[in-house]
Chain A
């Protein structure tokens, strides 16, 4: 940031108001195909048949379903998911349109949805490629020609399976997050649909990010997209995912899965701005495996959902591999967000740096949960975990549950946590300079979130500031 008020700084500070309706609008489901609620082998076979999958994928789905059925609901830790009744969740909903590579070929109301979310505009100005999923299926996928020419692949997994990538997908699909990982990983394995496959060949660096946006429009439905990204040695990619949904009175479920493979000396930055509506159960699983000298950088903003369980995990398997995790969670009224990360340091000279902020307001509950494991092989590993919480009122709650399992004497491990409130002096100071109380609080919260928003591309930083502003409106008595 320059002191002379350069355009970038002005953009960051002079953010226009956004309409609350930006995320909360519903499109008709008329003419849509929707599978019956609940789960059965028949439903799973039907999804698979529709995608014309190889046999091994159907077998994986059926095996996952078995695991799902015999695995009990998680109990006694984390937020309650008692309000989630799988018998009332439809696992597959589609508008039935063909996947398009031009927005002109996307059905009008779906195109309108993504336009309101600013996706086509972002694609024109600052992205190398875009994927857009609407309910269970991708409706749009496109990538700049010059990126494709470098051998980069960005498509749906279904397409990639049919376009010569089957062997690679079979080797990696649900290997980092096996169906046995937990009940909702098993569910995901059984009914996954849509998502992204990205392959970046050795030594290729993308100048612009790729972005996938997931929109769940249907009430009482689940979204189970799968993201599989392979960044080959020496390659470099920034991938962004965004997600939102309109609010309903019935529960919606998101149980996506993200598997990231970062090769030797490669770098992958994975940024998420999640703004699910507040009837959403967000039970998402994300995992990265990093080889020698590779780097995974997570940037994670969690604003939406009724309940979230989200702990992106990094397996640092090769010497000098590193993980940087930067996260922010904002829990407002009716939200119980259990977020954090896991890092497994399993090789010498590995590094992990975790920095998170959490904000709770209006009775919201925000819990930071982390698990760091340093194996005996991780000589000279370095870990630092820092988490700061800000509670905006007395009804809200903030907890910090950091777990560290260190089995290597030469490792250096540091942890710090702070929990605070906005002091009256701070508000008086800002008000004494002519700033209204609500704006003063928003300014402090935005400032608190600034270390995270500065990690995001500008458009997303602006979106995050807008989300905070929306959350802060009416925060005063």
Chain B
């Protein structure tokens, strides 16, 4: 059976995030079925699976996207049931979702946006001067031209620039859990390097947990992965250690898809 094991970590005190028996639907019907997933404090997790498996949906549901209805099950974060909380409350509790396609907000300058989201968090209270220094330093480490700070949030930014802005917010807000939704998609080699460094820095400085959603393994090359979760057809079909990444790299998802199809047929 190899990596096909059930998750034993439900009530573990090390668990930062516990998704239990979660089923989720949209108007067209149910799209996540009895999902179980645990992310330990400070651990690096990868959620893999073929296109359309429901990985991004799960990321959005953990963040609190109101477009989805939770039919059953629960999401606990940092010892608290957050299933009924709105996305802003979950954000303040320490969940961060890096968007696959960050939105453009005309008329809102990036710098004042960063200031206002930082000020929402009492634990990040700092003087205007200290904040300015912090932002400048983060920009530098992300190879971001500081002139972006005066521009409107994401408006006219390239794909790579938008992802850097996501990393900038991640490092500024120091969440306990960062969900990175296909952060690597559409990036050139340079931008990918910068984003990888950002993720590395988040791991080292904030001791934050990671849930990386991806369907390829390029972004994982420089990351020590603790746990791998495989999703097929709206359900998690396997959990394993970091070695699973290489195996999927070599074999693909066919074995999991076949097994999922068999279990549906059964």
Beta-carbon contacts of A1-35 to B below 8 Å, as 1s and 0s?
11111000110110000000000000000000000
- A430 and B102 alpha carbons, distance in the complex (Å): 10
Q: Mark A151-190, 1 if CB is under 8 A from B, else 0.
A: 0000000000000000000000000000000000000000
If over half of A's interface residues share one DSSP class (helix, strand or loop), that class is named, otherwise mixed; here it is helix
Knowing A429-B102, A433-B117, A433-B169 touch, does A447 contact B108 (C-beta < 8 A)? Answer: yes
- Is B261 in contact with chain A by the CB < 8 A criterion? no
Asked whether any CB of chain B lies closer than 8 Å to the CB of A437, the reply is: yes
Q: A4-B132, A5-B132 are in contact. Are A430 and B105 (CB under 8 A)?
A: yes
B117 x A434 contact (CB < 8 A):
yes
Give the distance to chain B from A218, nearest Cβ to Cβ, in Å. 38
Which B residues lie within 8 Å of A432 (CB)?
63-64, 87-88, 90-91, 96-97, 99
Most buried by A among B91, B112, B149, B150: B112
Interface size on A, residues (CB 8 A): 32
Query: Which residues of chain A are within 8 angstroms of B259 by Cβ–Cβ distance?
Result: none
> In the complex, how many residues of chain B place their beta carbon closer than 8 angstroms to a beta carbon of chain A?
40
Stretch at the interface among A78-86, A220-228, A418-426: A418-426
Q: Which of chain A's residues have a CB closer than 8 A to the CB of B63?
A: 428, 432
Interface status of B218 (Cβ within 8 A of chain A): no
Instruction: Give chain A residues whose Cβ lies under 8 Å from the Cβ of B105.
Output: 426, 429-430, 443-444, 447
**Chain A contacts of B103 at CB under 8 A?**
423, 425-426, 429
In the complex, which of the residues A3, A434, A436, A447 contacts B150, with contact meaning CB atoms closer than 8 Å?
Answer: A3
Chain B residues near A429: list those with CB within 8 A: 99, 102-103, 105
Q: Is A241 an interface residue (CB 8 A)?
A: no
A434 in complex: contacting residue of B91, B99, B102, B115, CB < 8 Å: B91
A114 within 8 A of B: no
Contact with A along B156-184 (1 / 0, CB 8 A): 00000000000001000100000000000
Find out whether the CB atom of A3 lies under 8 angstroms from the CB atom of B149: yes
A132 CA to B108 CA in the complex, in Å? Answer: 35
* B109: nearest chain-A partner, CB-CB: A1
Q: Is the CB of B107 within 8 A of A10?
A: no
Residues of A close to B150: CB separation below 8 A: 1-3
Binds B, one of A65-73, A138-146, A282-290, A448-456: A448-456
Chain A neighbourhood of B131, CB < 8 A: 5
B91 lies within 8 A of A433 (CB): yes
Which residue in chain B gives the minimum CB-CB distance to A453? B107
Interface centre among A432, A436, A437 (most CB of B within 10 A): A432
In angstroms, how far is the closest chain A Cβ from the Cβ of B14? 25
Chain A residues with Cβ below 8 Å from B149 are 3
Contacts of B1 in A (CB 8 A): none
> Which residues of the other chain, A, contact B67 by a CB distance below 8 angstroms?
424, 428
The answer to whether B108 touches A436 (Cβ under 8 A) is: no
Which residues from A are CB-within-8-Å of B65?
428
Q: How far is the CB of A449 from chain B (nearest CB, A)?
A: 7
Residue contact B117 to A13, C-beta cutoff 8 Å? no
Task: Find B92's partner among A5, A428, A434, A446 (CB 8 Å cutoff).
Answer: A434
**For B88, what are the chain A residues with a Cβ–Cβ distance below 8 Å?**
431-432, 434-437, 440
Bound Cα distance A429, B88 (Å): 9
B106 at the binding interface (Cβ < 8 Å): yes
In the assembled complex, the Cα of A440 lies from the Cα of B152 at a distance in Å of 15
Q: How would residues 127 to 141 of chain B score, 1 for a CB under 8 Å from any chain A CB and 0 otherwise? A: 010011000000000
A13 contact set on B, CB distance < 8 A:
112, 115-116
Residue B30 interfacial (CB < 8 Å): no
Digit string of A444-470 for contact with B (CB within 8 Å is 1, else 0)? 101111110000000000000000000
Q: List 8 A-B contacts (CB under 8 A).
A: A13-B116, A428-B65, A431-B88, A432-B99, A435-B116, A436-B86, A443-B105, A446-B108
On B, residues with C-beta under 8 Å from A are 60, 63-67, 86-88, 90-92, 96-97, 99, 101-103, 105-109, 111-112, 115-117, 120-121, 128, 131-132, 146-147, 149-150, 152, 169, 173
